[in-house]
Amino acid sequence: MIVLSSGDLEAIGLHGEASYPEECCGFLIGRAEASSTVVERVLAVENEREDSRHNRFLIAPETVLAAHKEARSAGLDVVGYYHSHPDHPARPSEFDREHAWPGLSYVIVSVQGGKVAEARSWRLADDRERFEEEAMLQKDIGQKEAV
Amino acid sequence: MSVTIHIPTPLRRFTSEQGEVQVEGATVGEAMQDLTRRFPSLQRHLFTDEGALRSFVNLFLNDEDVRHLQKEGTPLSSGDTLSIIPSIAGGVSALETAARAVAEELPDLSPAEIRHYSRHLILPEVGTLGQKKLKAAKVLAIGAGGLGSPVGLYLAAAGVGTLGMVDFDVVDESNLHRQVLFGRASVGKPKIQAATERLRDINPHINIVPHETRLDSSNALDLFRDYDIVVDGTDNFPTRYLVNDACVLLGKPNVYGSIFRFEGQVSVFWGARGPCYRCLFPEPPPPGLVPSCAEGGVLGVLPGIIGSLQANEVIKLIVGAGDPLIGRLVLFDALKLKFRELKLRKNPDCPICSEHPTQTELIDYQQFCGIDPREDTVEKDFEMSVAELKKWRDEGREHILLDVRNPPEWEIGRIEGAQLIPLGELQDRLGEIDPAATIVAHCHHGARSAQAVRFLRQMGFSRAINLAGGIDAWSEEVDPSVPRY
């Protein structure tokens, strides 16, 4: 299970909409707990691909290092990544599978025609054969419903 | 040399939760080997099945990317620190429906299908998931000939849910020695019609889509668009380049096979993941240099072997099992019974599949392959009919009848009085021909002898004439005692 605030989820969606029709991407920073991953904040980064930006994204290792340092300085960890699928479902692609590690959360937001359709979170199975969906819980959902 | 490797958080559960591991090694590569020896379950997350470091995994030696040093050969000193850092990559590919890792939208199998595919279902590498992927897959076979026969038969039998076939030809008796899709009852029928009937009989659970059309630049993209994988079973260079280019433009894998006499080739060309046919062969051979199977002959069982290998690659791509033949070319020699494998590299300057292509649409492939349609409209005295030749012979007009076929064809049958000089030997044996004589050249159907006449005229044999329709027309119209083949 992944837990994040509605504000962070909204930020991911807005990043996806602003980047449409290209893909966006960023880091999920928080804590990996025994039975869940708790996201404390999200960190948007530039897609560093120079080509095929509508269906590919890349974050260079130097940027990853910097994000890890930033997370550690706040006593947190990089617990996963998010990216958008413009005009595609919020499901991991084969390419995603080949470029993933287990133990991390991969949040995918589907942006259809420039608007967020849905967000889902996935984790790679240890045998690398498939992604398994994980439940996504918004920690302040009650608050939001009250508005 | 003892060095420290920093293990990133998500991989620590494969290292007993250790964030730092001490390993031994004189180079980065040796240190990584020692690491995966100590923690074997790390292997698959860091390296591909072929043993190469995964493309998104980066190694930093004391904060310097080893790619900027000596890569995996970078020497280590005691006390060095290696960090494993992922670069994050991902994204959608609309072309992966067949290989999609997530099974939720795959079709169910009926009890009858489960019975049909039971020997697949009990294979762990295929299983129910793989069989459902096969059912969801759409494969287009180009050509229902020697290669298309095993490709069609095995893919239909294996349960590829949508199987398209393109061909415009009619079944001929000379097809039956290798095109095992067809039997005697099919002779004279359109291949597509006969193939569809046969494949439906093999597997009624799948959708066979007949395309009775000649593939060309105007229809290829529209035809390919609806399929996940294209299988190249063509017998000529213009179509082979057309299939390659259309696949690259659409990002689809092209499962390639070709055969000639006793030798075959197989590969998977997939511009999105590896080299394409043009990376291997940027230019077609000059027209006429490589004879077709109709001219050069082919061992009947050869397309059975090569086409079966193609079907095997298609199934692997769909199911996601094993190592696909991307970036590898397999050469098969039926006489020596030897397989050889060549590694193929993507050409960084490939005009169609490189990062900066110079060709972004389909072109005229007849022209690209140097086949000029104007060559067919030749001067009047260039060729003569078999009826005219008969008349010449009856009248006793003097001429040399030159047979440019190969000796095995000569053994099947010949026109009385002909002189045999195979096309390939013509250049060396010109001295055997009287330059002042009238020469009537013939082959099987008239194509090779047309080349011979063009060559002879260039060499000063101005009275060389081609026999239109070749020995086949002679047999049909003049002398039925000459066997047709």
Which ranges in B123-177 belong to alpha helices (H)? 127-136, 148-158
pLDDT per residue of chain B (485 residues) written in tens, 0 to 9:
899 998 887 788 888 888 899 999 999 999 999 999 999 989 888 988 878 888 778 888 887 888 788 888 899 999 899 988 877 766 554 333 333 334 446 888 999 999 999 999 998 889 888 999 999 999 999 999 999 999 999 999 999 999 999 999 999 999 999 999 999 999 999 999 999 999 999 999 999 999 999 999 999 999 999 999 999 999 888 999 999 999 999 999 999 999 988 999 999 999 988 999 998 888 777 666 666 667 778 899 999 999 999 999 999 999 988 889 999 999 999 999 999 988 888 888 899 998 888 999 999 998 888 776 555 445 657 889 999 999 999 999 999 999 999 888 899 899 999 999 998 889 889 889 888 889 999 999 888 898 899 889 888 888 899 999 999 999 999 999 999 88
CA distances from residue B433 to A16, B438, B452, B464 in whole angstroms, order as listed: 78, 10, 13, 11
Nearest Cα residue to A56 out of A33, A80, A84:
A84
Please state, in angstroms and as integers, the Cα–Cα distance from residue B258 to each residue in A93, A143, B303, B324, B329, following that order.
32, 66, 8, 18, 11
Q: Is A23 a catalytic residue?
A: yes
Q: What is the pLDDT of residue B8?
A: 82
Per-residue pLDDT reduced to its tens digit, A94-119 = 778 888 888 899 999 999 888 998 89
Put simply, whether A43 touches B (Cβ < 8 Å) is no
Cβ–Cβ under 8 Å, residues A128 and A102:
yes
Does domain B378-477 match CATH 3.40.50.300?
no
Helix B470-477 / helix B386-395 crossing angle, nearest 10 deg = 70
Q: Which pLDDT does position B377 carry in this prediction?
A: 46
Does A60 contact B at CB distance below 8 Å? yes
CATH homologous superfamily of B97-373: NAD(P)-binding Rossmann-like Domain (3.40.50.720)
Distance CA A2, CA A82 (A): 12
Q: Is A113 exposed, middle or buried (0-12, 13-18, 19+ CB in 10 A)?
A: exposed
A23, A83, A104 member nearest B10 (Cβ) = A104
- Spell out the alpha helix ranges (H) of B251-324: 277-280, 293-296, 302-319
A93/B91 CB distance under 8 A: yes
* Helix, strand, coil abundance in chain B, percent, nearest 5: 40, 20, 40
Q: Inter-axis angle of helices B302-319 and B127-136, to 10 degrees? A: 110
* CB neighbours of residue B304 within 10 Å: 19
Residue B98: the pLDDT is 33
One-letter identity of residue B159: G
Instruction: List the beta strands (DSSP E) in B112-253.
Output: 138-142, 162-166, 207-211, 229-232
Residue A64 at interface with chain B, using a CB cutoff of 8 Å: yes
| DSSP codes joined into one string, B48-111 | -TTSPBPTTEEEEETTEEGGGTTGGG-B--TT-EEEEEEPEEE---TT-GGG-S--TTPPPPPH
Closest CA to B98 of B230, B208, B203: B230
How many beta-carbon contacts under 8 Å exist across A and B?
Answer: 109
User: Which residue of chain A has the CA closest to B103?
Assistant: A130
Work out the end-to-end distance of chain B between its first and last CA atoms, rounded to an integer number of angstroms: 73
Q: Say which of B293, B350, B353, B369 is annotated catalytic.
A: B293
Q: Do B102 and A77 touch (CB under 8 A)?
A: no
A contacts of B11 (beta carbons < 8 Å)? 101, 103
Q: What is the DSSP letter of B425?
A: G
What's the CA gap between B196 and B341, in Å, rounded?
Answer: 34
**Is B94 in Cβ contact with A88 (below 8 Å)?**
yes
Query: What is the rounded distance in angstroms from the CA atom of residue B356 to the CA atom of residue B209?
Result: 35
- Chain-centroid distance of CA B61 in Å reads 43
Q: Quick check: ipTM above 0.85?
A: no
HSE of B287, CA atoms in CB hemisphere, 13 A: 15
Best-predicted range by mean pLDDT among A71-80, A122-131, B245-254? B245-254
Q: Do B101 and A23 touch (CB under 8 A)?
A: no
CB A78 within 8 A of CB B87: no
CATH number of B2-86: 3.10.20.30
Q: E-strand spans in B354-453?
A: 383-384, 400-403, 419-420, 439-442
Secondary structure of residue B175 in the 3-state scheme:
helix
Distance, CA of A26 to CA of A39 (rounded, Å): 13
Cα–Cα dist B195/B198, whole Å: 5
B140's tokens: 């287009």
Q: Nearest chain A residue to B89 by CA: give it.
A: A58
Using DSSP bridges, classify how beta strands A25-32 and B2-6 pair: parallel, antiparallel or unpaired.
Answer: unpaired
**CA–CA min distance A104, chain B (Å):** 6
pTM of this structure: 0.56
Could you tell me how many helices (H) and strands (E) chain B has, helices first?
A: 17, 19
Contact present, B212 and B123 (Cβ < 8 Å): no
Q: Shortest CA distance to B299 belongs to which of B330, B333, B329?
A: B333
Are B11 and A103 a contacting pair at CB < 8 A?
A: yes
Spatial contact of B11 and A101, defined as CB atoms under 8 Å apart: yes
**Beta-carbon separation of A99 and B41 below 8 A:** no
Identify the active-site residue in A10, A17, A23, A62: A23
Give the separation between CA B172 and CA B187, rounded to whole angstroms: 5
Sheet with A131-134, strands from edge to edge, namely A131-134, A115-124, A105-112, A77-86, A25-32, A37-45, A2-4, A136-138
Q: For chain B, which residues make up each domain, given as ranges?
A: 2-86, 97-373, 378-477
- Candidates A64, A45, A128, A60; CA nearest to A92 is A128
Residue A47 pLDDT level (bands cut at 50, 70, 90): confident
User: CA nearest B31: which of B86, B85, B87, B80?
Assistant: B80
Determine contact, residues B334/B259, Cβ cutoff 8 Å: no
Identify the band that residue A59 occupies on the pLDDT scale cut at 50, 70 and 90: confident
What does the block give as tokens for A25?
Answer: 């991407």
Residue A129 sits at the chain B interface (C-beta within 8 Å): yes
- As a whole number of angstroms, the distance between CA B194 and CA B182 comes to 7
Interatomic CA distance for residues B41 and B43, integer angstroms:
5
Single-letter amino acid, residue B68: H
User: With contacts defined as CB-CB under 8 Å, which chain B residues touch A59?
Assistant: 87-89
- A78 contacts in chain B (CB < 8 Å): 9
- Chain B residues lying within 8 Å of A92, measured CB to CB: 90, 101-102
Cα A16 from Cα A39, distance rounded (Å):
18
CB B220 within 8 A of CB B362: yes
Q: Which domains are delineated in chain A?
A: 2-135 (3.40.140.10)
Residue A107: strand, helix, or coil: strand
Distance of CA B92 to the CA centre of its chain: 27
The predicted structure's pLDDT at residue B290: 65
Chain B contacts to A (CB-CB under 8 A)? 8-13, 41, 44-45, 54-56, 58, 60, 65, 83, 85-94, 96, 99-104, 355
For residue B170, what is the enclosing H or E element? none
Nearest CB to B65 within list A58, A61, A81? A61
